[in-house]
Each structure stands twice: as C-alpha cells, then as structure tokens.
Amino acid sequence: MLDRLRTPLLPALVVAGLAIAPARWLGWTNEAASLLWLPLRPVAHLGVAASSWLRPPTPVPVVDVAKLAEERDELLALAQRLRAELDASREAIAILEGLPRPAESPSRPIAAEVIAVEPSGIVSINVGLRHGVSVGDPVVAAGGRLVGRIGDPLGINAGVVVPAARIGVAEPRVRIEGGSSGSETVLCLLEPTGDGWRGEVAATRVETGAEVRLDDPAWPSSAQGLLLGRVASLRDVPERPLRASIRVRPAWSIGDGRTLVVQRSAPDPTP
C-alpha cells in the first residue's frame, strides 16, 4: 500500500512542524516512546549486558572516607601553619616599620620566632648561624623595643637572646627623652639590676615615664636609638641634692609577642 504513495510528503511536513515546535508540545513523545519501548526493553537489556561484557564500564573510584578525613586534617594543619606564618610576617613587618633607620646601618633584619623561654629570662629563637646571625646582634620587638643581644652559644638553626636587662658586664649609656624640658636629651649610665636598670641623673631634668633609648657605641649602630625602657621611679640621693636615682623598667617583656627581629650584621651566608 505504501508503495503506491510516492512520498510521505504530508507526514513529513507534520514531523517538520513538530521538529521546530515548542518543547511544551512534545511532552507526549515521552509517553509514546515508553509504550514503544515496553516490549523492547528485554532485548535492550541484553544489548547493554553484551556491551558491558565487551567493554566493561570504567570503575568509579571508591570514596575512602578515612583518607578524605586524613587529607582534610592535613589541609587544616597546613592552613593553621600558614596562618601562623602570616601572622608572624605581619608582626615582623610591623617591627621593621617601627625601627629607626640610621643612614649608615649595615644591618639585615630577619624575623625570628620565640621557641623557648628559660627561667633565667634567656630566650631561645629559631634562627642561628645558618641564617647569618652572629653573636652580639641586637634583637628587636614591635615598636622599636630592644629585646637584647644574640648570646653564646649560637647554634646552626637556633640561637639565644640575652635580654638587655641582664647584660651585666656592659653599662649602657642611654638617652632619656621627655623630661621636664620636653625633648631634651640626658645621657646616663645605667647599671643592670636583673629586672631593669638603675642610674643617676640631674633631678630636675627627668620625669617618671620618660623614654630611655640606647645611645652606646659598644652596641651595633643598628641598635642605636632603640627603646630600652621607661623611667619607672625617681628617688633623691641624700648625699647629692641635685641628683636623682632612677629605675628603668624594660620596654619589652616575654609576654609581648612571639615574633622578634634580629638585626644581622654579618654578610649573607654563601648559598
């Protein structure tokens, strides 16, 4: 019968119209396909089985929850470490920005972390000879506060900082600013007492709270002008009426932060 009809022109036109019809007009095709495929499904299942036998599907990787949890913990630890390093870098930048910059300062600062504090007040840090640190290099904290000097022995990867208040052999000469006459500078020799310093100045020229800054040629130039402490108390000296005994409290204490900066004086180690 179909042979007598030359071409399926009319059905083809209908199908052409449906081919470009909106999607909402084509919903019935799913039902038609379902009906059509109902008796064909068993054959199709055989075909799929044969296809899977001939070409096995790529195995889906099994999700290992324990491994994922381990990776998560490692990433969290890494994130924590990076966050700590970021904080340390920020602190180091803050310290460096607060430092006085002598024109001829040959120092090369390097950030260091406090890794231990001895009962004697000696501080261990995580930089040493390998990082170009030398014995005697000044160590600074945020706000341009002098912490102390690198002491002996100095390790390859670690060093110790002798707090400035405990350097007994030296008698740092200091400049006291902010006295009764404003920014007047008073030179004074301070004697370490273990928890600070003691010295004598002209009684009329210094007030409590005045800043005490290092001005001692025995220290490297990069340490000059750093804040040593503040005048904590003034006391008259009976035998010398025009003089006053002062006590200076260190500007830095162990609870002020874990990040320090070492002002290296030695050249960079050869790589």
Partner 1 sequence: MNWVLYAIVGVVLVVLDASFMQALRLGEVWPAAVPGLVAFVSLWAARPAVPWAAFLLGLLQDLSDPVVVADGEVVRLLGPASLGWLFGTAALLPLRRVLLRRHPVAIGAATVLLSFLAGLVWGAIWVARSLLHGEAMPWPTGGGIGAIGEMGLDAVADGLVAIPLAWLLMRVGAWWRFPGGGWSGGGSRGFQSRQR
Q: What token pair was written down for 233?
A: 């108390």
Q: How far is the CB of 3 from partner 1 (least distance, A)?
A: 5
Rounded distance between C-alpha atoms, residue 210 and residue 103, angstroms: 26
Rounded to 10 degrees, what is the CA torsion of 210, 103, 147, 178?
A: 0
Under the criterion CB under 8 A, does residue 10 sit at the interface with partner 1? no
Among the candidate windows 34-42, 72-80, 138-146, 248-256, which touches partner 1 by CB under 8 A? 34-42
Nearest to 152, CA basis, from 172, 131, 133, 130: 133
Under the criterion CB under 8 A, does residue 30 sit at the interface with partner 1? yes
Q: Which is nearer to partner 1, 22 or 255 (CB)?
A: 22
Among the candidate windows 40-48, 63-71, 149-157, 231-239, which touches partner 1 by CB under 8 A? 40-48
Rounded to 10 degrees, what is the CA torsion of 41, 46, 49, 53?
A: -160
Q: Which is nearer to partner 1, 27 or 119 (CB)?
A: 27
Under the criterion CB under 8 A, does residue 55 sit at the interface with partner 1? yes
Among the candidate windows 36-44, 132-140, 180-188, 261-269, which touches partner 1 by CB under 8 A? 36-44
Helix (H, G, I), strand (E, B) or coil at 213: strand
Under the criterion CB under 8 A, does residue 58 sit at the interface with partner 1? no
Among the candidate windows 33-41, 97-105, 130-138, 188-196, which touches partner 1 by CB under 8 A? 33-41
Under the criterion CB under 8 A, does residue 22 sit at the interface with partner 1? yes
Among the candidate windows 39-47, 81-89, 190-198, 205-213, which touches partner 1 by CB under 8 A? 39-47
Nearest to 98, CA basis, from 219, 267, 257: 257
Identify the bridge partners of residue 201 per DSSP, sorted by sequence position.
244
Give the E-state strand segments of the chain in sequence order. Answer: 108-117, 123-125, 138-141, 145-150, 159-163, 173-177, 186-192, 197-202, 211-214, 227-237, 240-250, 259-264
Beta strands 108-117 and 259-264: pairing type? antiparallel
Q: How far is the CB of 38 from partner 1 (least distance, A)?
A: 12
Q: What token pair was written down for 58?
A: 């790529």
Under the criterion CB under 8 A, does residue 218 sit at the interface with partner 1? no
Under the criterion CB under 8 A, does residue 15 sit at the interface with partner 1? yes
Q: How far is the CB of 53 from partner 1 (least distance, A)?
A: 8
The residues that touch partner 1, with contacts defined as CB under 8 A, are: 2-8, 11-12, 15-16, 18-20, 22-23, 26-27, 29-30, 32-33, 36-37, 40, 43-48, 50-52, 54-55
